[in-house]
Structure 1
Amino acid sequence: MQAAVRLGNGLIMHQRDVPIPSPTEPGQVRVKVHAAGTNPVDYKLPKLVAGPIAGIDVAGVVDAVAPGAPPGAAFDVGDEVFGFATGGSVAEYALADASKLASKPETMTFVDAAAMPTAYVTSYQALFEHGEMRPGARVLIIGASGGCGLAACQLAAAGGAAEIVAVCSSRNAQLCADAGATEAFDYADDERMQELLTRRFDLVYDAASGSGAGEDYRGFGMDVLAEPRGRRVAINGGFGEWFATLTGWGRGERDRLMLTRQDGEELTKIVELLGGEPSPVIDRVFELDLSGVNLGFARQKSRRARGKIVIKVV
C-alpha cells in the first residue's frame, strides 16, 4: 500500500510498497483510509517511538475486524468511522482500537472528519476537563489560529463562554472570529498585548508556548488569570515543565500541562456539543502521493497553516 513513512530527523516521504496491516488484537479494526489529518507530533516524535508510518488522525471505512470479535462489537465491516489510528494513519489502510474511534456523522465529509480527532479532543479536554470551563467563563486562547486554537474557539462558544479572546496574527483575526472568538489581539502588537495584561480570565488555553519556535507565554498566561480559581492549560512545554508535570513536582492546580487522552466516546460528545454538524477549519488538502506528502508536511512544519492540513487518500 501507499503510505507516508518516517525516515528520521523529522523527514517524512511517500512510499508505495508498505505492507498492509492486519488487525490481530482484541478490539482492533482495520480502516480503509479515506482521509488523514496531520499534526506537529507526526514529525516531532522519533520513528522508534511513533512507528514507521506518520499520522494519528484517521477517517474511513472499517474493512476488517480482529478475529474473535463478538456479535454486536463496537464496529462492523462497512461502518464509517473517524478517530485515532494505531501505528500511523497517512496510508491506504490503518489499524485502530475500536475504543478510539467514533461513528462519522453522515453529513460530514471524510476530509472534515479527519481534521477533528487530535485538535478537537485535545481542546475539549483542555477546556472542560483540565480548565473546568463553565458557561459564562472568560477564556483566552493563545495560538488561536492553529488547528487546536480554532477548535477551542468553536468549543468554547458552544460551551457558553461569555468572552473568547484570541491571540493570533492580525491577518487571522477574522478567521478566529468566524470560529467563535469575540475579540482578537495581535501578538506582534506590543501596545495591544500590554492592554491585554490588564484583563483577567477564568481560563487561559495556551496552544502556542513550546511549539518549537521559542514562544513562551507561560508567564503572560499566569499574569492574566482571575483569582482565585483561574487556570492556565498548555499543550506544549519545555523539558522542565514536562518533568514537573509527569512527576507532580513544582506545578500547582492553576498551571497545567496536559497530555491528550485518545478517546472515541469523547469525539461523539464533541459532535453533539457542536450540534451534530462540526465544521473544522481546513487549511489545505493534499493527495497521498509524492508531491502531496512532501507539500503537506512542509506546510505543517511551516507553522503558517490556518486550521488543519489533511491528506486525502480516496
Structure 2
Amino acid sequence: MATGNLRRRLHHADVDGRKNEHVDITDVDSLDEPLLGRSSYDNRGSEVYNPRRQDLWDDDDDDDRKKELLHWSFLFSNLIAQWAQWLANIIASSGSMFGRLFPFTSDNENGNPVYLTPLQEERLDNLRRRLQISFDGSRIEHQDALRQLWKLAYPSREIPPLKSELWKEMGWQGTDPSTDFRGGGYISLENLIFFARNYPGSFQMLLNKVQGQRSDWEYPFAVAGINISFMLIQMLDLQSTVPSSKPGIRFVALLEQDENAFDHLYCVAFRMLDAQWLVKRASYMEFNEVMKSTKTQLERELVLEDVLAVKDLPSYTMLDK
C-alpha cells in the first residue's frame, strides 16, 4: 500500500486509527512468524511428495545399497546437528558483535530471530549511553541545557534563575525544574531541546496551547515531555540487550536510516498526545488515559509495512517546522 493512500485515510481527527486502520494489532508485543520457505508438509498435515527421495526406493532389488545410504545419511545428519549446536553455544556465550549478527537471539514471544547490523548496534549503544545519564541539577552542563530550553521557548524573554516561579509557565510543577526529573534521564531534557530546535512551530503551539478547545485544567507541557520520553523507552524495549517487542524491533530498523530516530519519534509522540488530548476533550485527571491511547496509536503506526523511517509515520505529517 502506498504511503500517500494510507495518510489520506488516517486523518488527524481519527488519531485512534480505529475507523480506517487496516492493520489489526491485537498484541503489539508478538511477532508474526517469517515465511522461511516451503514447508515439508502441506496444509493437510501429509508429507509433501519428494520425487528424488521417491526414486531412491524404486529399486527394490538393491537392499544393500539402501542400507548403506541410510547409514551414511544418519551419520551425516548427526554430524551436522552436533556441529550446529557447538557453534551456537560458542556464539551465544561470547556476547560479541559476531554473535549479534547471527539468528541465535530471538524475541520472547515466538522465537523469531533478531538481527542487528554493525551500524544498528553502534547507534543503539549510543542511545543506551544517553539513557544512562541521570539529570543532575548541580552539573553546569545540565544547568546550561535548562537555560537553553528557556531561550528556545521564550526567545524574547530574559532567562530566569534556576529556581523561579517563572519555570511553572513552561509546565514544570515547581519553582525548581530539576525536582521534576526525580533522578530520571537527562535524555528527556535533550528531547525537549531537540523538539524546540527542529519543529519550532509545533513546539510553540503545544507549549502555548494555541490549538483547539482546551480544558480549564490542562496538562503541564514540560512534565508531559518527561513522561513521553519514559514511555518511549519502555515501549521500544530499549533497556533490553536486544529489543524483543515488535515496535522495538521496528525502531531498531529505523536507526539504520537515522541516528536521531528516537528524538524525531519523540516529537511525533508529543504531537500525537496533544491531538489525542483534544479529541478526547481531556482534562488533567485523564492524562494517563491519553498517554496510553498515544502509546497504542504509535505502536500501530510503527508496525506498518511501508514505514521505513520516522518521516513515513502517518502522524509525522502533523508536525510543523
TM range (shorter): under 0.3
Kindly indicate which of the two structures has a greater share of residues assigned to strand: 1
TM-score under structure 2 length normalisation:
0.24
Structure with higher helix content? 2
Tell me which structure has the larger Cα radius of gyration.
Answer: 2
Higher relative contact order (CA 8 A, sep 6+): 2
TM-score of the two chains, using structure 1 as the length reference: 0.24
